[in-house]
Amino acid sequence: MLRHFLIVSFLVGCAAVHADDRPNIVWIIPDDMSANFSCYGETAIETPHVDALAARGAKFTNAFVTAPVCSTCRSAFITGMYQTSIGAHHHRSGRGELKIHLPEGIELVPKLFQDAGYHTSITGWPPNGRLGKTDYNFQWDESVYDSNDWASRQEGQPFFAQIQTQGGKLRGKDAEGWERVSAAAEKTLGSRTPTSAVTLPPYYPDHPDIVRDWAAYLDSVRMTDVMVGEVLNRLEKEGVLANTLVLFMTDHGISHARGKQFLYDEGLHVPLVIAGPGIDSGTVRDDVVEHIDIAALSLAAAGIGVPDWMQARDILAEDYTPREAVFAARDRCDETVDHLRSVRTKDFKYIRNFLPKRPYLQPCAYKDAKAILIALRQVHAAGTLNVTQELLFRDVRPTEELYDLKNDPYEIHNLADDPAYATTLADLRRRLDVWMDQTGDQGRQRESDAMYDSDMKVYTDRLSLPRFDPQQLETVQKNIALMKQWAAEGK
């Protein structure tokens, strides 16, 4: 059993409850990082602290985000709701003159903890006196966080703390960032990850910049593991580790050509490790779970009732019935308009491309500035990519993609037109339709021109500041014009 403690003893409002009896809840959530930890099978590096956390708790091998980009993912897990249900599905939206408001009755998870008497905080690591990354796409009140550090709580008060860290972003976008994180790993751990240790997925070419970037990414994983160890050490020194539920998860997969912003597993599959009161050591769960579930399980662990409106599920509950499938969505990211949906079981992935006339690698200033994308485009132009590596450079997309994940874990061979898989295709197509209907997928309506223009003004105004290269602004403006042209053409 994953939860031994008696939930009844923790129920808020019961006379027998004392604040110091309830467990503390700590979320550690790095950016842009897939499950490249040794406890998940990564052999190029060692990650002893995350491994130790998994050894004394539960490791979920099939955890997936519902959105493969920061703000939409974070808007989802902080509410326990699909970003598509609350209108927060476009990345970095609601930032301009036009705002996004949560549907009536929906509260942020820290507010629910606060109302139950918990101290709430969000920080980077180490704490720097400021609130940590939020990146929510809707209007919200910062008062849901009491401070940036649980140290400011009242004596005996339980705390809900989020630690949001850079994770994969530590490696930056080019050689300068690669050197910075690898030098930090060498200084802290005595070595840097050699390029000879890198094994790339088969859809990436063996280009020196791509290999070096991946090595630096692995060093960012190692440095993230160090950070996890520091958090656990602090909790232990303060004498609260035994009564703290520690949850480690990333906000989406690695920022790479086929990872972040895409619905392939490289963008959606994340580590999820939970340890603390009531969690059996060495537990391994292979059922599919969604990242929003951390909202429900954390509330339940604290004895706080999970709201009826919440779509997250308490995956640690004694009576939990495992999901048969998980769902994900990708919509506009920065200036780049897209519309994809997916459903995944343990064995199959179905992706629907609602804009099939557009290329896979649409222009996107954020991604195109990365050295790895520059390298990919160069080798594509040189004609040296193999058939698998050319997949991302197709000018159009199939309306549907279907992958047999057991036999094709890298999602290379699209089976949507294979008669042998017609029944599976129909089943997953139906599941996705039902999910979109039942959850009120707001992405079925195109983002209004007014909202797009409102958010793009914030983006371009920022790039107009002196610290930015004027070329960046020019690129974004060019991309915005192209998005509008394609929309007018029905693409």
Tokens of 93: 């939206």
**Distance (Å, whole) CA 278 – CA 5:** 6
Handedness of CA 206, 207, 212, 217 (dihedral sign): negative
* Structure letter (DSSP) for residue 97: S
Per-residue confidence (pLDDT) for residue 381, from 0 to 100: 97
Residues 428 and 343 sit within 8 Å (Cβ to Cβ): yes
**Distance (Å, whole) CA 465 – CA 174:** 22
Per-residue confidence (pLDDT) for residue 96, from 0 to 100: 97
* Residue 29: strand pairing partners: 164
Tokens of 475: 């690129």
Give the global pTM. Answer: 0.95
**Distance (Å, whole) CA 20 – CA 27:** 19
Tokens of 101: 């408001």
**Which strands sit side by side in the sheet containing 340-344, from one edge to the other?**
326-330, 340-344, 348-353, 400-404
The phi and psi torsions of 143 (rounded to 5 degrees) equal: -70, -10
Q: Which of 104, 148, 358, 375 is nearest to 256 (CA)?
A: 375
pLDDT along the chain (491 residues), means of 10: 41 43 97 98 98 98 98 98 98 97 98 98 94 98 98 96 98 98 98 98 98 98 98 98 98 98 98 97 98 98 98 97 98 98 98 98 97 98 98 97 98 98 98 98 96 98 95 97 97 95
Per-residue confidence (pLDDT) for residue 20, from 0 to 100: 66
The DSSP element (H or E) to which 318 belongs, if any, is: none
Express the helix, strand and coil content of the chain in percent, nearest 5 each: 35, 15, 50
Sorted by where each begins, the domain ranges of the chain are 1-491
The phi and psi torsions of 188 (rounded to 5 degrees) equal: -85, -40
For 1-491, which CATH superfamily applies?
Answer: Alkaline Phosphatase, subunit A (3.40.720.10)
Tokens of 329: 């969505």
Per-residue confidence (pLDDT) for residue 150, from 0 to 100: 98
**Distance (Å, whole) CA 362 – CA 396:** 10
Rounded to 10 deg, the angle between the 470-488 and 449-463 helix axes is 170
Q: Which of 212, 178, 207, 183 is nearest to 195 (CA)?
A: 212
For residue 274, CA distances in Å to 340, 369, 444 come to 30, 36, 35
* Residue 297: alpha-carbon gap to chain centroid: 17
Residues 257 and 372 sit within 8 Å (Cβ to Cβ): yes
Q: Sort residue 285 into left (φ over 0), alpha (ψ -120 to 50) or beta.
A: beta
**Can you spell out the DSSP letters for 209-267?**
HHHHHHHHHHHHHHHHHHHHHHHHHHHHHTT-GGGEEEEEE-SSS--STTSTTSSSHHH
Instruction: Using DSSP, state whether 457 is helix, strand or coil.
Output: helix
